[in-house]
Structure 1
Amino acid sequence: MHAPARPIVVRSPEEWSRARRGPDFAGRTVGFVPTMGALHEGHVALLERARRENDRVVLSVFVNPTQFNDPKDFERYPQTWDSDLAAARDAGVDLVFAPHAGAMYPDAYRFRVTEDVFSRVMEGAHRPGHFDGVLTVVLKLLLLVDADRAYFGEKDRQQLALVRDMAAAFFLRTEIVPCPTVRAEDGLALSSRNRLLSPTGRRKAAEFARILREGPDANGTRSALELAGFDVDYVEHHEDRRFGAVRLENIRLIDNVPIQHSL
């Protein structure tokens, strides 16, 4: 009897639950990578680590509408299903969970998760409601997938911290595994949004990472970014890291780097 083709694609929580209880997952460790699709090498690095550390790998592809405070941003978010599926296959993913919004929000988002401290700064301050949407969908996915480990990139370090603390607060069994930011050769943090930039914008975007890394302090870094032509949402220091968010060609880019201390 031939083994099923990989990856298997399921579209509903009910279908996933049946698969999760099936013999293919029985007694095996599960690694989970939640995404909104438009996969790039950063996502692939997460999947490859999950493959190394677990018996089974689950990828979710769901463009979560509740975390977009700007409807236009949601509408233009890249969706590349065919290439995503090919990347999942190459990375050794066993199952892709790709639900529609109605399946994930049968309550029409009546119930949601809210955090009242770290979610109120940086991304939370500039994108009202963003982290309510993120934490709500991640909680749903972690409960559904019931993985041993879930992998999150450090480019979204604020999100990572909130997800880690939420998992602890709700006694979830899944270990939240942080993974280093994957960067292009010119230093730009890989992001699905990068593909929305023009060739000129993409070249300019590399200056964001460089200035964020080399700036003298938060205010000086902000000024340098503005002089370089970026619209700056914020530059802030938290826990020995410098966080920044900018807009270029109306595309929003975020990053964080270690603070460079003078000797």
Structure 2
Amino acid sequence: MEIIRTVRGLHKAVADARSKNRSIGLVPTMGALHAGHMSLVDRSMKENGFTVVSVFVNPTQFNNPDDLRTYPRTEEADCRLLEAAGVDVAFIPTVEEMYPEPDTRVFDLGPVAQVMEGAMRPGHFNGVAQVVSRLMVMASPDRAYFGEKDFQQIAVIRRMVEIEKLPVEIVDCPICREPDGLALSSRNVRLTPEQRAIAPEIHRALEASLAYAADGHSLRQTVEHVTDTINSFPGMEVEYYEIVDPLTMQPLGEWPSDKAEAVGCVTVWCGDVRLIDNIKYTLSHRS
């Protein structure tokens, strides 16, 4: 595996791979890698001849300075994981390399970026669009891989790709979980033992809501049930739970009447750690 820290070096490595007719896969990460990230890496390596994994904590997507400061950084461990997996390139730039000048672009991301995370974290998705668009230009991938835990983010990135007319396929990959159901996240390492013990109740509440909805409860009742269930655990507080259209991300007022899916997206404060998760509802859950 080659560790590259400059855009020029990345361009050269990608050009060399292209000269050998190898397709390019990109896995953008902010480091602190776990099995969820590695599942994206594995898929990219299966579907492409050359895989680039970026490790970069992007400052423009943090609207909370404390969150940026405390975000885990584990470069040496990350590189060991990536090398063991057989990744071709780990792209690990500095902030100055990524942003030699301030990125003042404002993307017209539309309604998909205005709700849930977009409402709670002003500027967050514009920062995501800034860094991902830069990475895609730098790496020129055929495919880029993202985890469904960040469900809304995938919709935002698809919108950004459409705006920028980037020739890249966005590949969404299933959530990876701990054996007790907690969605894998780099932030999980910040949980105290007590918080880690109750955090799986987030997923349990979402799972239980499938049967609750199937029993004939309305969408609004289901939202309230999930919220109340999670809030009943000391130390956990739901910031929002919305059941949304999976394409537009707009909150739904009632269950879809056709076979379209709905997706429940939740953000929960577990102490001072902000955790997200989601679940898919289908017609079979509501009939």
**TM-score tier (shorter):** over 0.9
Specify the alignment match of 2:270 in structure 1.
248
User: How high is the TM-score relative to the length of structure 2?
Assistant: 0.86
Distance 1:177 1:191, change over 3 A: same
> RMSD of the TM alignment (CA)?
1.5
Deviation at 1:241, TM superposition (A): 0.7
Match of 1:29 among 23, 30, 43: 23
Deviations 1:161-189 (A, max 9, x none): 11122213322111111101111111111
Amino acid at match of 2:74: T
Amino acid at match of 1:220: H
Specify the alignment match of 1:4 in structure 2.
none
Which residues in structure 2 correspond to 1:68-147 (within 5 Å)? 68-147=62-141
Amino acid at match of 2:286: S
Structure 1 SS opposite 2:241:
strand
Alpha-carbon distance between aligned partners in 2 of 1:10 and 1:20, rounded to the nearest angstrom: 11
Specify the alignment match of 1:169 in structure 2.
163
1:17 aligns with 2:25: no
Match of 2:228 among 223, 230, 236: 223
Amino acid at match of 2:131: V
Deviation at 1:114, TM superposition (A): 4.0
Amino acid at match of 2:230: L
Alpha-carbon distance between aligned partners in 2 of 1:25 and 1:60, rounded to the nearest angstrom: 22
Distance 1:148 1:15, change over 3 A: same
Alpha-carbon distance between aligned partners in 2 of 1:28 and 1:186, rounded to the nearest angstrom: 39
Amino acid at match of 2:53: L
Q: Is the CA contact (8 Å cut-off) linking 2:107 and 2:160 kept in structure 1?
A: no
Amino acid at match of 1:227: S
Deviation at 1:21, TM superposition (A): 2.0
Q: Identical aligned pairs, as a percentage?
A: 41
Deviations 1:10-52 (A, max 9, x none): 1121221122223676421111100000000001111011111
Q: Is the CA contact (8 Å cut-off) linking 1:25 and 1:56 kept in structure 2?
A: no
User: How high is the TM-score relative to the length of structure 1?
Assistant: 0.93
**Where in structure 1 are there 5+ consecutive unaligned residues?**
1-6
Alpha-carbon distance between aligned partners in 1 of 2:47 and 2:179, rounded to the nearest angstrom: 27
Which stretch shifts more, 41-50 or 104-113? Answer: 104-113
Amino acid at match of 1:228: F
Which stretch shifts more, 41-50 or 108-117? Answer: 108-117
Deviation at 1:111, TM superposition (A): 2.5
Deviation at 1:198, TM superposition (A): 1.1
Distance 1:150 1:233, change over 3 A: same
Structure 2 SS opposite 1:173:
coil
Q: What is the total number of aligned residue pairs between the two structures?
A: 257
Q: Is the CA contact (8 Å cut-off) linking 1:114 and 1:135 kept in structure 2?
A: no
Which stretch shifts more, 71-80 or 163-172? Answer: 163-172
Deviations 1:126-185 (A, max 9, x none): 111100100111011111110111111111010011112221332211111110111111
Greater than 4 Å deviation, 4+ residue runs: none
Alpha-carbon distance between aligned partners in 2 of 1:25 and 1:84, rounded to the nearest angstrom: 28
